[in-house]
Amino acid sequence: MSALIGTRPAMAEAKSDAPPARRRHDRAWQRPGVLSAASVLLLLAAWQFVASRGWIPPLFLPPPGAVWDKFVRVASVGFMDATLWQHAAASLARVGLALVAALLVAIPVGLWMGLSARVRGILDPFIEFYRPVPPLAYLPLIVIWFGIGELSKVLLIALAIIAPVAIATTTGVRGTDVSRLRAAQSFGATRRQLLWHVVLPSAAPDILTGVRVGLGVGWSTLVAAELVAATRGLGFMVQSAAQFLNTDIVVLGILVIASIAFALELGLRALQRRLVPWEGKA
Amino acid sequence: MVRLDEIVAGYGEPGSSAAVLDGVSLQVPAGALLVLLGPSGCGKSSLLNVIAGFIPLRGGRARIDGRDIRGPGADRGVVFQDDALLPWLDAAGNVEFPLRLKGMPAAERRERAQHFLELVGLRDQPRHAVWELSGGMRQRVGIARALAADPQVLLMDEPFGALDALTRERMQELLLRIWATTGKTIVLVTHGVEEAVFLATDLVLLSPRPARIVERHVLDFGRRFAGGEAARAVKSQPDFIATREAVLAAVFASEPDLQAAIG
């Protein structure tokens, strides 16, 4: 601390006409990324400490080392007839399929709702009605209707994604800049051209935000979707492990589910920066 | 030629709100640079929007070359104060946009876009993202885009209102040069008195709401600049200053509240 304070006068003497660069983050350890890494490492250390002291039995909290061993084991040998990668692939395939299906429904519906107050009036109550209901609550109904196959699982995840994407698309469409619409109209744009060349690109930043939210919700529906008659999947893996009190695999599953969600979110953010770099700037 | 007869127009349903324009008649001669000048909120932009076909008429007739104006059309190009560029297209893409809507082949489109970008002095920035350009450059792209569609009339709604004073003067000079080279009819809305007097061949002064035409002047300061005189020289000539002050006095006189406020 004193060393840090000690550098201040030296810096003040050295300064010429250069502006004080990034005063807020000028100390390396204060950068947000560094702080995040530090807090994660601190938590891991506390976990290791508590587990090694035997304060909490491994049945409730296995030590980090045991979870790592399980990771290596499940990744190579497998658990419940499938390796970790096969479980992850099964889950990703379900969510991916659900995402595609949801986008095919949600974007046209959102467009339509954004363009017409009448359509909005008709569809809004349904979306707002099912959106806050937890997927676990309507899962039994979906199983009764569509059976215990893959369709029900994908449908459950898709339903979770549809609402946020449709709502975001509606918002984006309604926020289309009037001057841009008028400009295109004054160039003789047809209704179709307006939709394709002005409205849809205008709504793109909102749609992508909707996809980010939707994918997060869809991914978190995974465990519920894999409750029924699944033989593979990360959600299935966690539940099976819980039944055998394999706490280390439960913890491992949670960590893997969280890591994949984090990676997806980072990927989508990168996609957003690439596809709609003008967002918030124009 | 644009011809407005006894125009009545307003926003929302008739009867729900007072008319912004109540019986305005105006003719825009071909090749003119007609400037609509008036205090903020007087309805000068509404008048421009009537010509553009953006707002429907409650009464009167609006025609261009004898045809009734029923909506926006490619015969009238519009330049907006907020530039209304499409940020997902680069500078050239924006200029090509009206041509793309018409289905012009890509090679021809590119060539035309380049021509108009050169005309507005943006020859070297065709692939620039528009949201990275300065306000003045964005307006240049907007003007190039409107011209690329080859309209009969160019409608400009406070195009330089959001620019800094220096850029504003540069853009006025650019506009006069474009007007002189293309021979387009231009209708421009502004609340800047000096800008109006400098640019206009026909200066129309509007009263506060509901807008009425208070005065109409035929001027030639813009032509003097286009003829080769320096802009600042034109603007400091005695007759320019006299006209500017006379128009300014008329603007103040048309607005009783403002007149009371300044005593």
Nearest-CA distance from A182 to chain B in Å?
Answer: 7
Long-range contacts of A93-98, Cβ-Cβ distance < 8 Å, separation of 24 or more: A94/A150, A94/A153, A94/A154, A94/A157, A94/A222, A94/A225, A94/A226, A94/A233, A95/A157, A95/A215, A95/A218, A95/A219, A95/A222, A97/A154, A98/A154, A98/A155, A98/A156, A98/A157, A98/A158, A98/A161, A98/A218
Backbone dihedral region for residue A22 (phi beyond 0: left; psi -120 to 50: alpha; all else: beta) = left
- Cα B147 to Cα B154: distance, rounded to the nearest angstrom: 8
Domain A74-275 fold: MetI-like fold (1.10.3720)
Tell me what pLDDT residue A219 has. 92
Asked if B56 is an interface residue toward chain A (Cβ–Cβ < 8 A), one would say: no
State the sign of the Cα–Cα–Cα–Cα dihedral B128, A195, A190, B78: negative
Scanning every residue of chain A, which has its alpha carbon at the shortest distance from the alpha carbon of B95?
Answer: A187
ipTM above 0.95, yes or no: no
Closest Cα in chain B to A185: B72
Nearest chain A Cα distance for residue B72, angstroms: 5
Residue ranges per domain, chain B?
2-75+152-261, 85-150
Token code pair at residue A186: 């004054």
Q: Does domain B2-75+152-261 have CATH number 3.40.50.300?
A: yes
Residue pLDDT tens, chain A, 282 long: 444 444 444 444 444 444 555 555 567 778 888 999 999 999 999 999 988 888 888 888 898 888 999 999 988 898 888 999 999 999 999 999 999 999 999 999 999 999 999 999 999 999 998 888 988 888 999 999 999 889 999 999 999 999 999 999 999 999 999 999 999 999 999 999 999 999 999 999 999 999 999 999 999 898 888 878 888 999 999 999 999 989 999 999 999 999 999 999 999 999 999 999 988 876
Structure-block tokens of residue A241: 């492990």
Question: Which chain A residues have any C-beta within 8 angstroms of a chain B C-beta?
Answer: 177, 179-180, 182-189, 193, 197-198, 201, 204, 276-278, 281-282
Q: What residues in B contact A273, CB-CB < 8 Å?
A: none
pLDDT of residue A31: 86
Is B97 close to A186, i.e. CB distance below 8 A?
no
- Interface contact B54-A193, CB threshold 8 A: no
Which residues 2-21 on chain B approach chain A with CB closer than 8 angstroms? none
Q: How far apart are CA A102 and CA A114, in angstroms?
A: 17
Assess whether pLDDT exceeds 60 at residue B38.
yes
Residue B18 has pLDDT above 80, yes or no: no
What percent of chain B lies above the pLDDT cut of 70?
96
Q: Do A282 and B131 touch (CB under 8 A)?
A: yes
Q: How many CB pairs under 8 A join A and B?
A: 70
Bridge partner list, B155? B78, B187
Residue B215 main-chain phi, psi, to 5 deg: -145, 155
Residues near A114 by Cβ (< 8 Å), separated by ≥ 6?
A120, A169, A170, A171, A172, A173, A174, A199, A203
Residues of B in contact with A187 (CB under 8 A): 74, 77, 97-98, 101-102, 149
Quick one: closest CA in A to B156, which residue? A183
Of A93-102, B29-38, B251-260, the poorest mean pLDDT is in B251-260
The set of long-range contacts for A50-58, using a CB threshold of 8 Å and a minimum separation of 24, is A58/A247, A58/A248
Out of B53, B83, B86, name the one closest to residue A201 (CB).
Answer: B86
Position B14 pLDDT exceeds 70: no
Report CA-CA distances (Å) from A238 to A33, A78, A249, B52.
30, 13, 7, 63
State the smallest CA–CA distance between residue B142 and chain A in angstroms.
10
- The answer to whether B149 contacts A187, with C-beta atoms less than 8 Å apart, is yes
pLDDT of residue A11: 42
Point out the residue among A183, A201, A278 whose CB comes nearest to the CB of B84. A183
Contacts of A207 in chain B (CB under 8 A): none
Among A186, A197, A281, beta carbon nearest to B76: A186
Q: DSSP 3-state assignment of A79?
A: strand
Q: Bigger pLDDT: B254 or A190? A: A190
Identify the pLDDT of residue A53: 87
Residue B245 Cα distances to A38, A55, A222, A247, B250, angstroms = 68, 88, 74, 86, 9
C-alpha A264/C-alpha A275 separation (Å) is 16
- Which of B101, B102, B130 is facing A282, going by the closest CB pair? B130
Is B87 part of the contact surface with chain A (CB cutoff 8 Å)?
yes
pTM of the entire predicted model: 0.83
Which of B162, B94, B119 lies closest to A278, judged by CA? B94
Residue of A nearest to B76 (CA): A186
B65-116, pLDDT tens digit by residue?
989 999 998 899 999 989 999 999 999 999 999 999 999 999 999 999 999 9
B21: tokens are: 């324009």
Return all residues near B73 (Cβ < 8 A) that are at least 6 apart.
A186, A188, B53
Which residues partner with B185 through β-bridges? B153
Determine whether the interchain pair A186/B86 forms a contact, defined as Cβ–Cβ distance below 8 Å. no
**Residue range B146-174, pLDDT digits in tens:** 999 999 999 999 999 888 999 999 999 99
Contact A265, A95 (CB under 8 A): no
Nearest C-alpha neighbor of A150 from the set A239, A258, A232: A232
Query: What pLDDT is attached to residue A8?
Result: 44
SS3 at position A209: helix
Query: Chain A residues with CB inside 8 Å of B82's CB?
Result: 177, 179
> What is the mean pLDDT of the segment spanning B180-185?
93
Contact list in B for residue A208 (CB cut-off 8 A) is none
Chain B hits for A180, Cβ within 8 Å: 84-86
CB atoms within 10 A of CB B235: 18
What pLDDT sits at residue B96? 95
pLDDT of residue A28: 78
Would you state the pLDDT for residue B5? 92
Q: How far is B101 from chain A (nearest CA, A)?
A: 6
Q: How do residues B199-252 score in pLDDT, each as one tens digit?
A: 999 999 988 877 888 889 999 999 999 888 898 999 999 999 999 999 999 888
* Beta strand pairing call for B33-37 and B21-28: unpaired
Q: In sequence order, what are the beta bridge partners of A170?
A: none
Give me the pLDDT at residue A1, please. Answer: 41
A269's CB contacts (< 8 A; 6+ apart) are: A212
Q: Does B258 have pLDDT greater than 60?
A: no
